[in-house]
């Protein structure tokens, strides 16, 4: 989590909307650092003492950093950072005439005020290493010019763009490909990587000196966004190539001067995403078919039970149907989600409804409820745990109550490293001398085997502390 909100509030008394403004800059200032070939430091100022504090820091990808150490939280007196102090007091961009040698490296500093509600709430300092400076190429000159334009927009409060949230993980970086446009959409400059991206899309003509309307496959949306001064992020696909484009209009005093178009080829990424989508769809279909097959088996067992004469055989088949249905519930849930994880709370509620419908007797009503949450569990945990819950519920319904009926409560809970499942009934309770190892019915023995062997947990069956009823508690280790 960013330390900016706490530092800005403690040192400068900033909060709420002012902090949000500073946070929005952090979300999009990598572009400014890369175009500037500079480290960026964000300062806030104590209005009483004038002391300055670094509340955020960013290093460029396009050159070596000035600061190898972390300066966040560093406090400076006003005269130690005169350029930054002047930017706070004069509310304008201030550039250092002479390089600073305090770090042992010649550093050129530029301080950009961040306005909010008529006040300067922060200053972003661009600090470039002059030791790496040489005769700049056309690409570097374009970078510097674009950085200066964005700095002016930052000082005017128009960059970053309000309400605009790019796709951070995929957003093109400066080095991926850059096109500089004038206000009409004419290409003034295109980096080699940008030209290569258009070549892969099938554009063979020279893009520099041409208008977007002459070669771009989706030029209309770009030109409309440029004319309106609105940022735009879009994808274009041709000849098996996918290119992500990000348009940033360059605005001065509410007039569009031009724009910068960043491009990133994401063909392999999109191909992998499509393969994953196909894989997920296949897995969901498999779970759907497994569920259907299990339901078919359950239906066949129900038909077979109707032909049985022996009550014991009918009961055995009915128990098998219920166990198969419990497994089918998990597969049904998995078939609805591409992730191989199950919301066990939903499964538990449906199991309770199934048991309440299939096992309870109107002459001996049993009310069931559920509380707490188990959260999401992997399929290999959810399936045996569903069977455990089903067995515990059936055991309570069949053995806890006499003619009057009663209530069954299910409690789910997650601790730091364990999952707790508790089934509590208010029935007759355990007979004296009863033990799980020697006196348990088949359902409890199945539950015990699943908990210990499949889930690596423990199952305890005890008399309720109230003296009425029985508590069955399973404690399972949560998978890492």
Half-sphere exposure of 13 (CA within 13 A, CB side): 7
- Residue 338 confidence (pLDDT) above 60: no
Provide long-range contacts, Cβ within 8 A and 24+ apart, for 81-85: 81/43, 81/52, 81/125, 83/109, 83/110, 83/111, 83/125, 84/43, 84/52, 84/109, 84/111, 84/123, 84/125, 85/45, 85/50, 85/52
Least reliable range by pLDDT among 183-187, 274-278, 468-472:
274-278
Mean of pLDDT values over 266-284? 75
CATH 3.30.565.10 fits 342-480, yes or no: yes
Pull the structure tokens for residue 67: 């600061």
pLDDT for residue 465: 79
Where b means 16+ CB within 10 Å and e means fewer, 386-398 reads bbbbbbbbbbbbe
**Per-residue pLDDT tens digits for 300-331:** 777 777 777 777 787 777 777 777 777 777 77
Element (H, E) at 383: helix 379-399
Question: What's the rounded mean pLDDT across residues 401-408?
Answer: 79
Average pLDDT over residues 108-120: 93
Query: What pLDDT, on the 0 to 100 scale, is given for residue 54?
Result: 96
Looking at residue 135, its pLDDT comes to 63
Question: 253 vs 278, which has greater pLDDT?
Answer: 253
Q: 143, 38 in Cβ contact below 8 A?
A: no
C-alpha to C-alpha distance for 365 and 407, rounded to whole angstroms? 8
User: Any idea which of 4-18, 33-47, 101-115, 381-395 has the lowest mean pLDDT?
Assistant: 101-115
Q: What is the pLDDT of residues 32-45, one digit of tens each?
A: 999 999 999 999 99
Q: How much is the pLDDT for 99?
A: 63
pLDDT at 321: 75
Please give the pLDDT value at position 243.
Answer: 92
Residue 361's pLDDT band (boundaries 50, 70, 90)?
A: low
- How is residue 436 written in tokens? 């799980």
Omega of the bond prior to 160 within 30 degrees of 0, cis? Answer: yes
Provide Rg for the chain, Cα atoms: 34
Instruction: Report pLDDT for 106.
Output: 73
Alpha carbon separation from 410 to 124, 369, 373, 420 (Å, rounded): 56, 6, 10, 10
What average pLDDT does the segment 105-119 reach? 89
Does pTM surpass 0.95?
no
Has residue 352 got a pLDDT over 90?
A: no
Helix axes 311-334, 267-306, angle to 10 degrees: 170
What confidence category does residue 1 fall into, taking pLDDT thresholds of 50, 70 and 90? Answer: very low
| Six token digits for residue 304 | 């077979």
- CATH topology assigned to domain 4-156: Beta-Lactamase (3.30.450)
* 433 or 458, which is more confident: 458
Average model confidence (pLDDT) for the chain? Answer: 86
CATH architecture of 174-265: 2-Layer Sandwich (3.30)
Most confident of 65-69, 165-169, 208-212, 365-369: 208-212
Query: Is residue 177 over pLDDT 60?
Result: yes
How many residues belong to the chain?
A: 480
CB atoms inside a 10 Å sphere around CB 432: 6
The reported pLDDT for the residue numbered 166 is 65
Alpha-carbon gap, residue 273 to 255, rounded angstroms: 40
**What pLDDT sits at residue 203?**
92
Reported confidence tier of residue 167, pLDDT bands at 50, 70, 90: low
* Cβ-contact 361, 397 below 8 angstroms: no
Distance CA 279, CA 338 (A): 9
What is the average per-residue pLDDT within 229-247?
Answer: 92
Compute φ and ψ for 386, nearest 5 degrees.
-65, -40
- Pairwise pLDDT comparison (335 vs 417), residue with the higher score: 417
User: What is the structure's pLDDT at 337?
Assistant: 64
């Amino acid at each position: 989590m960013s330390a900016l909100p706490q530092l800005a509030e403690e040192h400068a008394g900033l909060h709420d909307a002012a902090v949000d403004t500073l946070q929005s800059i952090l979300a999009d200032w990598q572009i400014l650092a890369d175009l500037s070939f500079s480290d960026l430091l964000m300062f806030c100022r104590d209005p009483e003492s004038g002391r300055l504090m670094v509340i955020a820091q960013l290093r460029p990808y396009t050159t070596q950093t000035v600061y190898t150490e972390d300066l966040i939280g560093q406090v400076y007196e006003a005269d130690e950072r005169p350029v930054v102090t002047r930017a706070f007091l004069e509310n304008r961009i201030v550039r250092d005439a002479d390089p600073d040698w305090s770090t042992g490296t010649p550093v050129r500093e530029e301080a950009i005020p961040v306005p909010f509600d008529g006040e300067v709430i922060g200053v972003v300092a661009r600090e470039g290493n002059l030791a790496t400076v040489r005769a700049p190429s056309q690409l570097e000159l374009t970078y510097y010019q674009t950085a200066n334009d964005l700095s002016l927009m930052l000082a005017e409060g128009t960059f970053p763009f309000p309400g605009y949230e790019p796709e951070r993980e995929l957003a093109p970086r400066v080095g991926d490909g850059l096109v500089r446009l004038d206000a009409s959409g004419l290409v003034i400059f295109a980096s080699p990587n940008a030209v290569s991206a258009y070549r892969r899309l099938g554009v063979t003509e020279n893009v520099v000196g041409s208008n977007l309307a002459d070669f771009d496959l989706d030029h209309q949306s770009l030109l409309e966004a440029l004319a309106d001064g609105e940022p735009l992020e879009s994808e274009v696909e041709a000849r098996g190539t996918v290119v992500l484009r990000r348009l940033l209009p360059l605005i001065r005093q509410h007039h569009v001067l031009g724009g910068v178009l960043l491009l990133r080829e994401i063909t392999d990424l999109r191909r992998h995403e499509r393969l994953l989508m196909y894989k997920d769809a296949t897995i969901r279909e498999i779970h759907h078919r497994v569920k259907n097959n299990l339901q078919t088996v359950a239906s066949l067992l129900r038909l077979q039970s109707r032909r049985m004469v022996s009550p014991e055989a009918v009961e055995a088949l009915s128990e098998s149907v219920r166990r198969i249905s419990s497994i089918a519930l998990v597969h049904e849930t998995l078939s609805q989600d591409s992730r191989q994880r199950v919301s066990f709370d939903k499964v538990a509620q449906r199991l309770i409804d199934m048991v309440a419908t299939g096992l309870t007797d109107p002459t001996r009503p049993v009310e069931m409820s559920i509380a707490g949450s188990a959260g999401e569990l992997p399929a290999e945990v959810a399936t045996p745990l569903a069977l455990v819950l089903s067995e515990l519920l059936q055991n309570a319904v069949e053995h806890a109550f006499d003619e009057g009926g009663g209530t069954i409560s299910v409690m789910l809970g997650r601790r730091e490293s364990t999952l707790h499942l508790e089934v509590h009934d208010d029935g007759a309770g355990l007979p004296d001398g009863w033990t799980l190892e020697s006196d348990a019915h088949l359902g409890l023995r199945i539950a015990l085997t699943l908990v210990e062997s499949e889930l690596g947990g423990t199952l305890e069956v005890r008399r309720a502390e109230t003296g009425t009823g029985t508590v069955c508690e399973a404690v399972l280790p949560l998978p890492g």
